[in-house]
Structure 1
Amino acid sequence: MDSEFGARRRPARGSEGLLVTGGSRYRNTAVSTSSLVTALIWAVLPVSPASAQQTPAPLPSNQKGCLPAPTSTEGGMPWAQRRLVPDSVWPLTKGAGVIVGVVDTGVDAGTAQLSDGRVMRGLDVTTPERKPADDDCFGHGTFVAGIIAASARQGTGFSGIAPEATILPIRCAVATQDGSPPVLTSVEMANGIRAAVDGGARVINISASTSVPDQGLAEAVEYAARSDVVVVASAANSALQGDPVTYPASYPSVIAVGAIDEAGKKADFSQTGEFVSLVAPGVGVTSVGPRGAGHWLGSGTSYAAPFVAGAAALVRAYHPSLSAGQVKRRLEATADHPATKVPDPGLGWGTVNVTAAVTTILPEESAAGMPVVTAELAPLPPAKQTEGAGPLLAVGAATVVPVLVFLTFLMSRLYRSGRRRRWQPARVAEISSGRDLKAQ
């Protein structure tokens, strides 16, 4: 299993030890005026020296132990937010009322853009005590949660896709004693999914995977599907290491997410396969970290998945009657489809389109209580007259009446003109050779 937390490692054959995965040219035009103005401002205004000095640093490639607090802040709007334009639908919904389970390393509830009370206590499934999971040593879960639901904050253009959604942190991975990347088993992933369902999540993000199928993990995903919960999973980062099928991403009910770069191209590390549902920004994306108010930059399918989880939260908030299966179908149908046959092995149905996902009404959803536009009945045409002189009289009247009106108007003008001259002949202007006008 590949890790976005640190160096890539593959478990020994037969081992159940799994490492957490670590981590266009298309644009929907149905955006609000305020969103368009915001995008244009960020596009044309020069970056101030202060903002340039505050460019977030990349996450450590060989992190040991707890992630330090970020020391820099994203002053502008990150490319992923400019690409997806989530604020175009915020006048309709910001995801309020939807709980998103983040099955990961925990989420730091004290992080500035997540500190407004929307991070629940959560649950740590790695220990018998089942402690809360609203803190985060390694930082991976906090980074993921920020992409989903970070609130807007003065001094930065970064915010989450669904900034009013509630985060339910489920810790299923912890740092090891020697400081190496967090390790979890398929059992802990399954327990994490079940705990998120039981905790009230309507959307679950799990940025972890294994290339070894596991019955318990499959049953946990099925439990979520029966409970009408949308499960979003990272496709994994092993495209250059044999491109194996990964789980839980490849289970049929799961939305498997790959990564694209700023140019809209599939990231070279992003997993491919028939199971890939969608792609989202996953190279150099911005989010928050624990124990600080700044930002980090991260790459990986782990960080592409939460963009889709945030979009799913917006859809569930705005279309509460849709089932989990319908939410998945909507996200796929409204994506920016690639110029290939879909689903494409590398891009799935295409790049998630937040605006279209929320605002489009699919024909098959009309039976689920969605509004249906119906045509107003036109008035019946007048009955035809087949006999008599009626049609001829109508045509004659249509011709004669305008003529009579014109003649009446002309005679009235002549009458008023004659009275003004006291019925004397009208004067005539003659042009002499000297080009002077003389009245005659």
Structure 2
Amino acid sequence: MRPPRLLETTASLAAVVLLTVFSGAPAFAQQPPQPLPTDQKGCLGPPQGTERSAPWAQQRLAPERVWPLTTGTGITVGIVDSGVDGGSPQLSGGKVTAGVDVTAPGGRADTDCYGHGTFVAGIIAASRDTTTGFAGVAPGASILPIRCAKLGEDGSAPVLTAASLGDGIRAAVDGGARVINVSASTTVDDPKLSSAVSYAANRDVVVVASAANSAQQGDPVTYPAAYPGVIAVGAIDRDGKHADFSQTGSFLSLVAPGVGVTSIGPGGPGQWQGTGTSYSAPFVAGAAALVRAYHPQLSAGQVKHRLQVTADPPAAARPDPGLGWGTVNVVAAVTRVLPEEAGVLRQLASPPPMGPVPDPEGEGNGRMVAVLSLVVAGALALVLVPALRLMRGGSERNWAVRRTVRVRSRETGP
């Protein structure tokens, strides 16, 4: 006589429960971040993927090592760009102020159709979130959005002018920014833009600017990056090599990750991937925010000096035309003692020891899986206990078990 099919039914039920548990996440959360569109027309849609672990740029710079000392709290970073979406989940909760729209007097800039400014702001100050390994360099900093360009009438990319960049820098200074990020450039040495950079310098504001992406198109000098006092930032890839598109020149100050870097977008949760010196500059701006928060006695010029001399140096003599003073080193920029600053700095705390990059799956996602595992175990117990009792009764009735069936559990997950 064949044994009852209760065990087969129980195994099938367990498989269904496990498949339901591990496939219940939204589809977009199971995908990695998608590249930003290169032919974007109109507004950028919400991200279609999620970075589950720490992105390579965050692993390389390891800003979380200095977060026990400072997260940039108290520092406002001005983003002279396309606006910043203050409702993006990792920027919500009052992190983004109303800002200023210099293209529309009296307008706000805490929305972002094009998405460029939101991506930049995320690299600087995105909050930590247990659903993702991505976070900004200075998650405690505040963001002051300054919109200096809007989409073209045909939905094409925003058109910037040297004059609008100058207006944006001035608005950021007047709005209380201690650090300003300009991920845009022009080849025009415009008096209005130059005057705005001087205006920031005279008010002790750090200005960080992208070097631009035209190294293979003649490698022209770009502004505001080339103006004295500005921290001009180029791009490196994940191997630490100069990105072939990244502008070179004697004006280059530093380099930072700029190939396949991760950040957020407007309109919803998740992340995008982007490439360009536009996305290298905010890593340095975030580092500057950390330095300004931890060393408030330092002037803007001293902050620039500290970022340069604590950078990971290039193999060639510094400054190198393609790498400047080297790759920004967030931990050293905050913690290193410089002899030339003697008498200026307070006693420095030692950074915490280097450890593994936090994995969100070991935090929020891990807790979720643990809870669900307990639920599954309880459900299986309710089925298996009666089954075992029936089997024991069956054995007493000479139900012979003819074979052992091994069930291979298959686990699917994000």
TM-score scaled to structure 2, two decimals? Answer: 0.77
CA RMSD of aligned residues (A): 1.7
Compare the two structures and name the one with the higher helix fraction. Answer: 2
8 Å Cα contact 1:173-1:184 kept in structure 2: yes
Q: Matched residue pairs, number?
A: 325
- 1:162 to 2:138 alignment: yes
- 1:71 to 2:48 alignment: yes
State the partner residue of 2:356.
none
Residue 257 of structure 1 deviates from its aligned partner by: 0.2
Q: Deviations over 1:376-395 (max 9, x none)?
A: xxxxxxxxxxxxxxxxxxxx
- 1:216 to 2:178 alignment: no
8 Å Cα contact 1:51-1:74 kept in structure 2: no
Cα distance in 2, alignment partners of residues 346 and 225 from structure 1: 25
Cα distance in 2, alignment partners of residues 327 and 202 from structure 1: 11
Give the match's secondary structure for 2:247.
coil
Identity %: 69
State the partner residue of 1:26.
none
- Aligned in 2, Cα 1:52/1:104: closer, same or farther, shift over 3 Å? closer
State the partner residue of 1:61.
38
Residue 339 of structure 1 deviates from its aligned partner by: 1.0
Q: Which amino acid aligns with 1:58?
A: P
Residue 116 of structure 1 deviates from its aligned partner by: 1.9
Q: Which moved more, 1:245-254 or 1:360-369?
A: 360-369
Give the match's secondary structure for 1:307.
helix
Residue 366 of structure 1 deviates from its aligned partner by: 1.3
8 Å Cα contact 2:262-2:271 kept in structure 1: yes
- 1:361 to 2:347 alignment: no
State the partner residue of 2:252.
276
Give the match's secondary structure for 1:136.
coil
In the alignment, structure 1 segments of 5+ residues that lack a partner are 1-47, 374-440
Structure of larger gyration radius: 1
- 1:265 to 2:241 alignment: yes
- 1:205 to 2:181 alignment: yes
TM-score scaled to structure 1, two decimals? Answer: 0.72
8 Å Cα contact 2:82-2:117 kept in structure 1: yes
State the partner residue of 1:17.
none
State the partner residue of 1:337.
313
Cα distance in 2, alignment partners of residues 366 and 53 from structure 1: 51
Give the match's secondary structure for 1:280.
strand
- 1:236 to 2:216 alignment: no
State the partner residue of 1:171.
147
- 1:251 to 2:227 alignment: yes
Give the match's secondary structure for 1:170.
strand
- 1:290 to 2:296 alignment: no
State the partner residue of 2:289.
313
Residue 51 of structure 1 deviates from its aligned partner by: 9.8
8 Å Cα contact 2:172-2:180 kept in structure 1: yes
Cα distance in 1, alignment partners of residues 66 and 133 from structure 2: 17
Give the match's secondary structure for 2:199.
helix
Cα distance in 1, alignment partners of residues 28 and 111 from structure 2: 29
Cα distance in 1, alignment partners of residues 183 and 177 from structure 2: 16
In the alignment, structure 2 segments of 5+ residues that lack a partner are 1-24, 350-414
Q: Deviations over 1:280-328 (max 9, x none)?
A: 0000000000001011000000000000000000000000000000000
Q: Which amino acid aligns with 2:160?
A: L
Give the match's secondary structure for 1:223.
helix
- Aligned in 2, Cα 1:99/1:372: closer, same or farther, shift over 3 Å? closer
Residue 372 of structure 1 deviates from its aligned partner by: 9.4
Give the match's secondary structure for 2:303.
helix
Q: Which amino acid aligns with 1:56?
A: P
